[in-house]
Amino acid sequence: MSITTEFKEFVSRGNVVDLAIGVVIGGAFGSISASLVNNIFMPPIGMLLSGVNFTDIATTIKAAGPDGKGAVVIGWGMFIQSVINFLIVAAVMFLVMKAMNRVRRTKDAPAPPPAPPEPSEELRVLQEIRDALRST
């Protein structure tokens, strides 16, 4: 089998296509969650903290030179926004996986075992005789 034939089989498998779709959707979801954090969550949090804009929170290690270049800055605010973004994505993924597992469990749940057959008339009579002998 040639390499090109093997590659075509590999790419045409459902798992590879599903993975590619998941990556594209994940990228789009990442931009949505970043927008949610930056535009919805952080402004009210900043307002509660006396109008702090988290993107402006930074520590300057080395100031810029006379030409305005060469500054070394640690952007704490951007890091905090990234952590919040990650937590939102992780929470949504957790809830999605939990829902999928619940659906999978109900779909794959084994059928209840059938009820045992009723005992034959002879066996029922013998059990009655046994029970009558025990009580005497």
Provide block-wise average pLDDT over 10 residues at a time, the chain (136 residues).
82 74 84 84 83 83 85 88 83 85 79 85 91 86
- Residue 69: its H or E element: none
The full set of domains in the chain, from first to last, is: 3-108 (1.10.1200.120)
Three-class DSSP category at 1? coil
User: CA triplet 82, 88, 93: central angle to 5 degrees?
Assistant: 125
Give the pLDDT score at 36.
84
Query: Which two structure tokens, joined as six digits, stand for 9?
Result: 């089989």
Q: Kindly report whether the global pTM for this prediction surpasses the value 0.95.
A: no
The whole-number pLDDT of residue 125 equals 92
Token readout for 79 is 């890091």
Question: What pLDDT is attached to residue 14?
Answer: 65
